[in-house]
Chains A and B, each alone.
Chain A
Amino acid sequence: KQEVTQIPAALSVPEGENLVLNCSFTDSAIYNLQWFRQDPGKGLTSLLLIQSSQREQTSGRLNASLDKSSGRSTLYIAASQPGDSATYLCAGDNYGQNFVFGPGTRLSVLP
């Protein structure tokens, strides 16, 4: 049974810092790994999808990597801004059957 954990649970940083969010999963048979952002009381916004054959994806100030052998993914946010404040969720996709979500990292970027 796939289990996903995220460290840290919460993070508070000053504006401009680079930061790393960590995601670990127990089953290396994971197919895709997707990172989402959730603002309070809102839905999920897809940030990056790392497909099975890929090892990383980049979008603007975001970079996500996937290492199936170690069961880890990281989300790197460069030059953080107050608008980046949200909960960040990673989810492992068992070949489209369903996503298993981690509990999230609650990020606060202070101006």
Chain B
Amino acid sequence: NAGVMQNPRHLVRRRGQEARLRCSPMKGHSHVYWYRQLPEEGLKFMVYLQKENIIDESGMPKERFSAEFPKEGPSILRIQQVVRGDSAAYFCASSPGRGYEAFFGQGTRLTVV
């Protein structure tokens, strides 16, 4: 059973471009969480999704950021018109349900130049 898979591991974008980060949860997990870790800061919750539904997006910036978890395929975190301040490590976690152990991927390190 493969763990949570995130790709790409490293992503470089110029200011104004779009960044797409992918997360494939562990087999049997239907709950996905996205977190952001800014340099020298802790992990901050962004969004919680189940298949085809956004359950909680209270940590997501109101503009430029969006997330989806379609019926088929990975969860996608999309950042439009990236700015230097978006440079961070973005982690995805999955669990089989609420209140269960969460497992994290290796993260995508986004650098905006």
Q: Give the interface of A toward B (CB within 8 A).
A: 31-32, 34, 36, 41-46, 49, 51-52, 89, 91, 93, 95-104
Name the one of A36, A43, A89, A95 contacting B98, with C-beta atoms under 8 angstroms: A95
| SS class, residues of chain B in contact with chain A | strand
Cβ–Cβ contact B91 & A44, under 8 A: yes
Chain B residue with the shortest CB-CB distance to A42: B106
Partner of B104, one of A43, A97, A98: A43
Separation in Å of the B30 CB from the closest CB of chain A?
A: 12
Residues of B within 8 A of A (CB): 6, 31, 33, 35, 42-45, 48, 55-56, 58-59, 91, 93, 95, 97-107, 109
Is the pair A99, B91 in contact by a Cβ cutoff of 8 Å? no
- Complex contact A36–B99 (CB within 8 A): no
| 8 A/B residue pairs, CB under 8 Å, sorted by A | A43-B104, A44-B91, A52-B99, A96-B48, A96-B97, A96-B99, A99-B93, A104-B42
B42 close to A97 (CB less than 8 A): no
Chain A residues with CB under 8 A of B95: 96
Chain A residues lying within 8 Å of B59, measured Cβ to Cβ, are 98
Taken together as a complex, chains A and B put the C-alpha atoms of A54 and B106 apart, in Å, by: 29
- Interface contact A97-B107, CB-CB below 8 Å: no
Are B104 and A36 in contact, with the CB atoms below 8 A?
yes
* Chain B nearest Cβ from A26, distance in angstroms: 15
* B33 and A51 contacting across the interface, CB-CB below 8 Å: no
B48 and A103 contacting across the interface, CB-CB below 8 Å? no
Q: Are B104 and A46 in contact (CB under 8 A)?
A: yes
Q: Given that A96-B31, A97-B48 are known contacts, is A103 also in contact with B103, CB under 8 Å in the complex?
A: no
User: Once the chains bind, are B45 and A49 in contact (CB under 8 Å)?
Assistant: no
Say how far A21's CB is from chain B's closest CB, in angstroms: 15
